[in-house]
Structure 1
Amino acid sequence: MTDTLEATADLARQAARIGGPDQMLSEDQVIAFIQERLAGVDLDSRSVCLVIPDGTRSCPLPLLLKAVHGALAGRVSRMTALVALGTHAAMDEDHLAEHLGYPAGNLDATYPGLTVLNHEWWDPRTFVSLGTISAARIEELSGGRLRESVDVRLNRAVVEHDVALVVGPVFPHEVVGFSGGNKYFFPGVAGEEVIDLSHWLGALITSADIIGTRGITPVRALINEAAALITSDTLGLCVVAQSGTGALHSVSFGNTASAWASAAEVSAETHVRYLNAPVKRALAVIPTKYEDLWTAAKGFYKLEPVVADGGEVILYAPHITQIAAMHPEINEIGYHCRDYFVKQWDRFKHVPWGVLAHSTHLRGAGTYDEENGECCRLTVTLATGIPEDVVRTANLNYLDPGDVDVAAFQADPETFVVPQAGEVLFRLR
């Protein structure tokens, strides 16, 4: 681990950065930094693909995109913004307009010459294969946890441009340690093969052990290996945003690895909070940017480390009415701890591994054996608009959201209430 921390620190020093954990940047500072950095890169007459986040991340994307567009318009031959959906639902025109900051139906009014694309992960024509990572190399990268070759498929828009510029935030992340950087390619605009393999690797390590881990985790190493196959030049504009507001602590610029490493240093000091003792119960108040349980589960990931054995995490999200429309398999298998799947692998190996990973991440730590069955460390309770029968069939606990009194929970000394849950990680000292 020391070696990976030193390697990450070396990478971070290679990037240019403005701001830090204890700072808040003005819009003028952000714009000036972006324009200065992009002016120093040879982009004239080259095509540029901007890989940007979807609506599930706190980020002042209109500010960043306007600064980038202003620095590149008239210089580059072609400019495309590709929304890194991973396997999330596509953003419609109204959502895109709000997200990017232009009048709905009139992209050209704000971003003349820009093309905006959703990552159409459901369409095989979206992808081009960059090559294969061998089973032996996967075994090495995964620390022996997996031995399986993987076809590295990526959205063809990335490789059909001369330069790919990742523009987006960095937060603690349940699969990779800290999000951002090359993760915008894999899984952001990748084929299901790398998505499934990387997420299942994270699940084998477990969310509680990998989330907020500094340095190059095995999953980050796998993502970087895949990104090394990209033929376009790759650059990163990685920001650290104040959760829930989008105001910026820092902006880092470099290649995708160095810009990420620089931002991850700031995120580790900004987005991780520490408690002195475990809590019996946590109430995660889920913001409306998470529209289904697939994304709202981040409220659990960020709180699992501080809840005592036998305790409970309540996800309070009355606005959520479905588990995951894009991933119906989760309704069939429900939510279970890692060992429930690993020790019954023949039953579940056919299920997409990304779905299995999501299942284990939300159910948290636990054990399974044939004699005693499944025993999970925590109770996971949904106080959502998802019907009770669906919740219980998915192996989760149900609470009527109409019975949730947030103020009463806040007054309860045994309950830890987190508003705007999902981005800030809580750990024990």
Structure 2
Amino acid sequence: MNHPTRTRDFSIRWGTEDLDFHLPPRVHVDEVRPAVAASIKAIDDEKERELVVTRITKELAAGTGSTRGLSGHSLPSRGITLDKAKSIIVVSDDNTRVTPVKTLLPPIITMAKQSAKPISIIVAGGSHRHMTRDEKRAKFGAAIVDEIPVLDHEWADESTMVNFGKARCGSNGDGSHDYDIKLSRVACEPGTFVIGLGNIVPHRVCGFSGGYKILLPGLTCQATMNEIHYASARFTSERILGVVRNPVRDAINEIGIYRPIDFLVNTVLDGASRIVSLCLGDPVAAQFEGAGVARAIYGVQVGTPADIVIADAVPEHVDWWLCAKAACNCKTFVKPGGHLVLLAPCTEGWSPAHEGILLEHGYHAPAVIDAMVAGGQIPRDHLLEASHLAHVGEVLTHCHVHIISDTLDKKIIGKQGFDIVRSRDFQALVDDLVRDTHHDHDSHDDHASNSLAPPRVTIVRRGSEILPLPSLS
């Protein structure tokens, strides 16, 4: 008599919906995710708005602008305080980020009205496409967008920039280059009080987001953006991702020499997107403190790398340019030669702004990309894309990558080394990988005890934010 095989049922986020799947009982399963309020004390929902309003209002009233950097040397401030400012510009991230700006903005706007100073918002989206008006209303609140100017950053138009001269990203001997420091003129007008909004999470380019990253690369031109991103490609992910102090973060913080953020408003959220920490004031010190909190929330000990990792790309899902964060973050959870199954809908395609360059040059190991840049095959005008190619190429040389998407072209993207799988075939892919991994154990292990070892599967939640930490052993 045949008995039905018992399975364990799971679901995982795929864009705006959940996909169900199951695994056989013999599979060893680990689940990792950022900490939530049960393990880290979060601000109670009903008190969150009141506490945020009180703290921002109090700190803004007492704020004195940028004064001292973490390294101990002074970051020159123009000496502007809110009471002496002619106007206020709020520099905010776009709808690809989960910063709770609807909660953060009201006390800032109230103070601007009370002080009779004009206020506007500029979206520091870097090379991202502009948000639509409906997207702005959803991000900032309909009433705010209807009342206050919300400006777009024209990253490709250098006539809208102020050039502060040359800087060098990285230390001597690492192939670094001098590059122009250019920032949006909107944030550099004399008498403007600059407030930087953002959220702090692990980030492959600079260790953690937040702080001066809202200006660099958020409000820079293509050339500046190219250099700061490509600097990160000279280091493995383990040297940058989740490292609070690193060469790229130091270079980003140097922007404060040229255009200080007068007041920083950064949040740290838990795994349920609730505010855990509110980091205010000095843009270097506050971000540094917040990065430590974020490390505690998003950091997960890797343990034994898995044969198969099934990960969502939350909170990203729009295109591969963004969802690739999850691939970079989850690489360490996968054993060499293993499989990463990434649920990345990519509803807007591979990358609306960069797809042609990415597909032309292709994904390769970082050393190969670096040689292509040095040899001129990839022009320096496309270092931003080269950094992405190197970051993801590092993942592809480590493991097989399967992307669950109903929109990506299987043939075109398949040529880049990815396996594109439709959502309807997600379970079949999982079944095949579990079966084949089990066969690999059977066929390659000489010892009977090892031949019975079941596949190891790790399920990663919020893959675009998770931070793999080295084992303590």
| TM-score, length of structure 1 as denominator length | 0.84
Corresponding position of 1:378: 399
Conservation of the 8 A alpha-carbon contact between 1:55 and 1:289? no
When residues 318 and 224 of structure 1 are mapped into structure 2, their CA distance, relative to the original with a 3 A threshold, is closer
Aligned mate of 1:223, from 252, 270, 275:
252
Whether 2:379 is the aligned partner of 1:350: answer yes
Corresponding position of 2:62: 40
Query: What SS does the aligned partner of 1:389 have?
Result: helix
Q: Please identify, of 198-207 and 343-352, the stretch whose mean Cα deviation from structure 2 is larger.
A: 343-352
When residues 331 and 76 of structure 1 are mapped into structure 2, their CA distance, relative to the original with a 3 A threshold, is farther
When residues 233 and 415 of structure 1 are mapped into structure 2, their CA distance, relative to the original with a 3 A threshold, is closer
Q: Deviations over 1:123-153 (max 9, x none)?
A: 23321112212xxx54xx4352134211111
Corresponding position of 2:125: 85
Conservation of the 8 A alpha-carbon contact between 1:234 and 1:255? yes
Q: CA RMSD in A?
A: 2.4
Conservation of the 8 A alpha-carbon contact between 1:337 and 1:363? yes
Q: Which amino acid in structure 2 is aligned with residue 73 of structure 1? A: K
Query: What CA distance in whole angstroms lies between the structure 1 residues aligned with 2:337 and 2:216?
Result: 35
When residues 227 and 191 of structure 1 are mapped into structure 2, their CA distance, relative to the original with a 3 A threshold, is farther
Corresponding position of 1:418: 460
Corresponding position of 2:166: 132
Query: What CA distance in whole angstroms lies between the structure 1 residues aligned with 2:257 and 2:123?
Result: 21
Whether 2:241 is the aligned partner of 1:198: answer no
Q: Which amino acid in structure 1 is aligned with residue 53 of structure 2? A: I
Aligned mate of 2:319, from 273, 292, 297:
292
Gaps of 5+ in 2: 1-36, 64-80, 435-454
Alignment of 1:263-302 (within 5 A): 263-287=290-314, 289-302=316-329
Q: Which amino acid in structure 2 is aligned with residue 79 of structure 1? A: I
Query: What SS does the aligned partner of 1:302 have?
Result: helix
Whether 2:207 is the aligned partner of 1:169: answer no
Conservation of the 8 A alpha-carbon contact between 2:408 and 2:420? no
Conservation of the 8 A alpha-carbon contact between 1:336 and 1:360? yes
Residue 197 of structure 1: how far off its partner (Å): 1.0
Q: Please identify, of 23-32 and 353-362, the stretch whose mean Cα deviation from structure 2 is larger.
A: 23-32
Query: What CA distance in whole angstroms lies between the structure 2 residues aligned with 1:332 and 1:407?
Result: 28
Query: What CA distance in whole angstroms lies between the structure 1 residues aligned with 2:466 and 2:101?
Result: 19
Query: What SS does the aligned partner of 2:401 have?
Result: strand
When residues 319 and 64 of structure 1 are mapped into structure 2, their CA distance, relative to the original with a 3 A threshold, is same
Q: Which amino acid in structure 2 is aligned with residue 187 of structure 1? A: P
Alignment of 1:4-403 (within 5 A): 22-25=40-43, 26-41=48-63, 42-44=81-83, 46=85, 47-75=87-115, 77-102=117-142, 107-108=145-146, 112=147, 114-133=148-167, 137-138=168-169, 141-160=170-189, 162-215=192-245, 217-230=246-259, 234-243=262-271, 245-287=272-314, 289-327=316-354, 328-344=356-372, 345-350=374-379, 352-364=382-394, 376-384=397-405, 385-403=407-425
Residue 233 of structure 1: how far off its partner (Å): 5.2
Q: Which amino acid in structure 1 is aligned with residue 210 of structure 2? A: G
Corresponding position of 2:446: none
Aligned length: 386
Q: Which amino acid in structure 2 is aligned with residue 414 of structure 1? A: R
Query: What CA distance in whole angstroms lies between the structure 2 residues aligned with 1:67 and 1:80?
Result: 14
Q: Which amino acid in structure 1 is aligned with residue 95 of structure 2? A: G
Query: What CA distance in whole angstroms lies between the structure 1 residues aligned with 2:428 and 2:58?
Result: 46
Query: What CA distance in whole angstroms lies between the structure 1 residues aligned with 2:420 and 2:115?
Result: 55
Q: Which amino acid in structure 1 is aligned with residue 278 of structure 2? A: V
When residues 76 and 246 of structure 1 are mapped into structure 2, their CA distance, relative to the original with a 3 A threshold, is farther
Query: What CA distance in whole angstroms lies between the structure 1 residues aligned with 2:112 and 2:156?
Result: 31
Gaps of 5+ in 1: 1-18, 367-375
Residue 377 of structure 1: how far off its partner (Å): 1.8
Q: Deviations over 1:299-321 (max 9, x none)?
A: 11111122111112122123535
| TM-score, length of structure 2 as denominator length | 0.76
Corresponding position of 1:6: none
Query: What CA distance in whole angstroms lies between the structure 1 residues aligned with 2:321 and 2:363?
Result: 11
Of structures 1 and 2, the larger Rg is shown by: 2
Conservation of the 8 A alpha-carbon contact between 2:213 and 2:252? yes
Residue 406 of structure 1: how far off its partner (Å): 10
Q: Which amino acid in structure 2 is aligned with residue 124 of structure 1? A: E
Conservation of the 8 A alpha-carbon contact between 2:91 and 2:123? yes
Query: What SS does the aligned partner of 1:54 have?
Result: coil
Query: What CA distance in whole angstroms lies between the structure 2 residues aligned with 1:183 and 1:76?
Result: 29
